[in-house]
């Protein structure tokens, strides 16, 4: 569920809202929380989400997808990505999430200045940054995949309008695992047991960043890859959206 019964986006600004939302949608047994990779000037109505001009920034992130049992290969890829970022001058603004089956490397959105975002566009910048690093790690990715026999291992660029990603300390949607932040300096010691919901180990400093630290990378990536390459035209669905069907079902339960 990303919209309420009136079709407006769900949002959480204060901790007390979490139990309220869990109670409100208890009939569908909510388990996992996601957030948009975009930050918005305003977020009250569905139209606010549809309007790209309302987007202040996107959080660039690399989605490392793999079999959970091949997690050591996943960690190696994360370390390769972090080394690329360090070579581009980024050492204080990246954080790592173990999502339950794979990992994300996120780049704090405020490490890219608003001047750069306004110049090129928020989505263009985020997509190009992710794609630039993906291009740099192709050889390493293939070598790690073969050495670990992790043939499902991949690194995806998920930057697109209205995209969602896992929220730190949420539960995974199907695996008995918490989404935890891992300090880059702890990756050599990481073990999936850190994500045990009953006794998790979580890096509380994941919000740290250095303003403008990623500007150089952002401008370089734009020069090489350009902006977001896909059409953003709306399309008409042939069937109702899942969230619309759920809202209708919830409404029927009230009668």
User: What is the DSSP code string of 8-58?
Assistant: PBP---STTHHHHHHHHTGGG-----EEESEEES--SSHHHHH-GGGEEEE
Q: How far apart are CA 191 and CA 141, in angstroms?
A: 21
In this structure, is residue 239 part of a structural domain? no
CB 5 within 8 A of CB 227: no
Encode pLDDT of 197-234 as tens digits: 999 999 999 999 999 999 999 999 999 999 999 865 44
How many other CB atoms are found less than 10 A from the CB of residue 166?
A: 22
Q: CB atoms < 10 A from the CB of 186, how many? A: 13
Residue 51 lies in a domain: no
Q: What is the pLDDT of residues 100-137, one digit of tens each?
A: 989 999 999 999 999 999 999 999 999 999 999 999 99
Q: What is the rounded distance in angstroms from the CA atom of residue 149 to the CA atom of residue 172?
A: 25
Cβ distance 193 to 71 under 8 Å?
no
Question: Does any domain span residue 44?
Answer: no
Instruction: Please report the beta strands in 127-254, taking only residues with DSSP state E, as ranges in sequence order.
Output: 154-157, 164-166, 180-182
Mean pLDDT for the chain overall: 90
CATH number of the domain encompassing residue 145 = 3.30.70
In this prediction, residue 234 carries a pLDDT of 41
Query: What contacts 142, CB < 8 A, 6 or more positions away?
Result: none
Q: Give me the half-sphere count of Cα atoms (radius 13 Å) on the Cβ side of residue 10.
A: 18
Residue 24 lies in a domain: no
- Give the pair of three-digit tokens for residue 253: 């339960």
Residue 144 confidence (pLDDT) = 98
Taking the CA of residue 90 as centre, how many other CA atoms within 13 Å lie in the half-sphere pointing to its CB?
30
Supply the range of the domain harboring residue 156.
56-162+170-229
Is 29 domain-assigned? no
Task: Specify if 31 maps to a domain.
Answer: no
- pTM (2 d.p.): 0.87
φ, ψ for residue 103, nearest 5 deg: -140, 155
Residue 235 has pLDDT above 60, yes or no: no
Classify residue 135: in a domain, yes or no: yes
Bridge partners, 244 (sequence order): none
User: What does the pLDDT average to over 71-90?
Assistant: 99
Q: Is residue 149 left, alpha or beta, with left meaning phi > 0 and alpha meaning psi from -120 to 50?
A: left
Q: How confident is the model at residue 93 (pLDDT cuts 50, 70, 90)?
A: very high
Compute the Cα dihedral for 192, 196, 197, 203 and give only its sign. Answer: negative
How many structural domains is the chain composed of?
Answer: 1
Mean pLDDT over 186-199 rounds to 97
**Rounded Cα distance, 117 and 80, in Å:** 26
Q: Domain for residue 86, yes or no?
A: yes
């Amino acid at each position: 569920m990303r919209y309420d019964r009136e079709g407006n986006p769900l949002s959480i600004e204060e901790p007390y809202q979490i139990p309220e939302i869990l109670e409100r949608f208890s009939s569908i047994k909510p388990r996992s929380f996601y957030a948009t990779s975009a930050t918005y000037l305003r977020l009250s109505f569905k139209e606010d989400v549809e309007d790209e001009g309302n987007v202040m920034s996107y959080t660039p992130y690399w989605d490392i997808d793999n079999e959970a049992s091949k997690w050591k290969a996943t960690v190696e890829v994360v370390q390769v990505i972090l080394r690329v970022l360090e070579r581009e001058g980024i050492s204080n603004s990246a954080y790592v999430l173990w999502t339950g089956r794979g990992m994300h490397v996120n780049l704090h959105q405020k490490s890219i200045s608003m001047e750069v975002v306004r110049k090129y566009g928020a989505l263009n910048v985020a997509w190009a940054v992710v794609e630039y690093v993906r291009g740099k790690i192709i050889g390493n990715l293939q070598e790690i995949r073969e050495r670990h026999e992790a043939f499902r291992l991949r690194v995806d660029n998920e930057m697109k309008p209205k995209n969602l990603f896992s929220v730190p300390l949420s539960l995974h949607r199907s695996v008995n695992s918490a989404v935890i932040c891992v300090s880059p300096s702890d990756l050599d010691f990481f073990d999936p047991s850190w994500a045990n919901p009953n006794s998790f180990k979580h890096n509380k400093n994941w919000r740290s960043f250095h303003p403008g630290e990623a500007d150089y990378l952002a401008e370089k990536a734009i020069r090489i890859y350009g902006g977001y390459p896909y059409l953003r035209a709306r399309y008409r669905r042939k069937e109702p959206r899942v969230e619309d069907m759920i809202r209708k079902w919830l409404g029927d339960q009230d009668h």
